[in-house]
Amino acid sequence: MSQINERRSAIREGSSPTPSIEDGDIDIQDDGSSNHGALIVSVQPQASEEQVDVNDTDGMAVSLVDDNDPGCFGPTSNISLMRIIFQVVARRGYVRDSLKFPSTGTKYTGAMVNPSRLIPGSPSRTEIGSCNQLPPDHRTRTLIRHYFSTTGMLFPYIHEPSFLETYENLKKNNFRVRARRTWLALLNIMLAMASCGGCQDAENAKTVESEIFYRRAQELCGSQMLAGATLETVQYLLLTSQYLQGIQKAAQTWATHGLAVKAALSIGIHLQQNLGSHPPIEVEMRKRTWYGCVVLDRSLSMTYGRPSTIHEDYVQLELPVAIQGELGESKSVAFFTATMQVTHEPC
């Protein structure tokens, strides 16, 4: 009754009662006592004032669905290959009679299967913490170095010296200078990729740590992408696609890759004439990022047996070249260029 009387009084006075804040609506940062040595980064505000419920949307601002939903996989996919192998084995009598597979016609129409591996034991909201929280400095640096010596070496579309310079500037100012949301999201997905390297056990602590970084990156860049794309946005989406492919999230991989391609097209990194207005290093990173999209596009097309997203007419940029004076650049770029040429070679 007392609450009803309060509301009536508020209405008479022309004001509305203050709504209560449910648990989980906001992130309450502690002083680090629950996570010793954690770094808290000052982050730029959202570009858009529209609020997105992170409980109902993913990092691409679309409704969440379980990734174990079935999908269609064409004749070049591994799923199709295994299906054919099982059928051959079954016909030769090596499989029990209880294992029956439907016969295929002369024309393959695709298979509806569930390729995804569910990862149990996902981190709780408490474990994920605030999206502007980083591991202790020594751990963050270790993971950054690991990323650039593995994934970053094979796919060099993030400029290591420039990225490290941004991190050092933040560290020098005790992370009180506001970091770009896209940069911090990119850092988190890099940490996710680095911490998940070689993880096979779904219950592995590294897998849980990797999932935490991934969730933070999603929260940072969710609604930000609706306000417009930048080169960092494309790099974030591209690396997220590779991360999701690595943990066998087929539906999310395919959707995120599509967003990466659309973001890349929207800022024109596929056009040679758009490169001249940028500094030399950014020109090189834009070329590498676009070719990273092309490589992943052809790889996913073959893996999932689906049409490629990027048309041949949009693959006209000059090939990437090594940046003079940077250690390891020549071999890294040579491998990346060879990978691009192999995946882009017409069948």
Q: For residue range 99-114, what is the model confidence (pLDDT) as tens digits?
A: 444 444 444 444 443 4
Domain boundaries, position 108: 71-113
Residues 100 and 243 in one domain: no
Residues 124 and 199 in one domain: yes
Q: How many domains does the chain have?
A: 2
Residue 283 maps to a domain: yes
Residue 26 maps to a domain: no
Helix (H, G, I), strand (E, B) or coil at 134: strand
Residues 207 and 83 in one domain: no
pLDDT by 10-residue block (mean), the chain, 347 residues: 58 45 36 60 62 38 40 64 76 56 44 40 58 92 96 96 95 87 95 78 73 93 76 96 92 94 95 91 96 96 91 93 86 92 69
Q: Where are the alpha helices (DSSP H) in 222-321?
A: 231-246, 250-266, 280-304
**Alpha-carbon distances, residue 265 vs 193, 273, 308, 315, 335 (angstroms):** 25, 13, 15, 12, 25
Residues 197 and 292 in one domain: yes
Burial of 271 (0-12, 13-18, 19+ CB in 10 A): middle
Residue-wise pLDDT for 5-56, tens only, equals 665 565 555 444 433 333 333 333 444 444 567 777 877 666 543 443 434 4
The sign one gets for the Cα dihedral 89, 95, 97, 100 is negative
Residues 105 and 139 in one domain: no
Rounded to whole angstroms, how far apart are CA atoms 306 and 298?
10
**Alpha-carbon distances, residue 294 vs 156, 278, 337, 343, 347 (angstroms):** 14, 21, 11, 8, 16
Characterize 116-147 residue by residue with b for buried, 16 or more Cβ atoms within 10 angstroms of its Cβ, and e for exposed: beebeeebeeeebbbbbbbbeeebbeebbebb
Residues 76 and 222 in one domain: no
Report yes or no on whether pTM surpasses 0.85.
no
Residues 202 and 262 in one domain: yes
Residue 177 maps to a domain: yes
Residue 5 maps to a domain: no
Helix (H, G, I), strand (E, B) or coil at 69: coil
Residue 24 maps to a domain: no
Residues 62 and 82 in one domain: no
Rounded to whole angstroms, how far apart are CA atoms 193 and 214?
9
Residues 300 and 236 in one domain: yes
Residues 150 and 88 in one domain: no
Residue 315 maps to a domain: yes
Residue 13 maps to a domain: no
Residue 25 maps to a domain: no
Contact 320, 287 (CB under 8 A): yes
Residues 125 and 97 in one domain: no
Residue 132 confidence (pLDDT) = 85
Residue 215 confidence (pLDDT) = 94
Residues 151 and 191 in one domain: yes
Residue 327 confidence (pLDDT) = 79
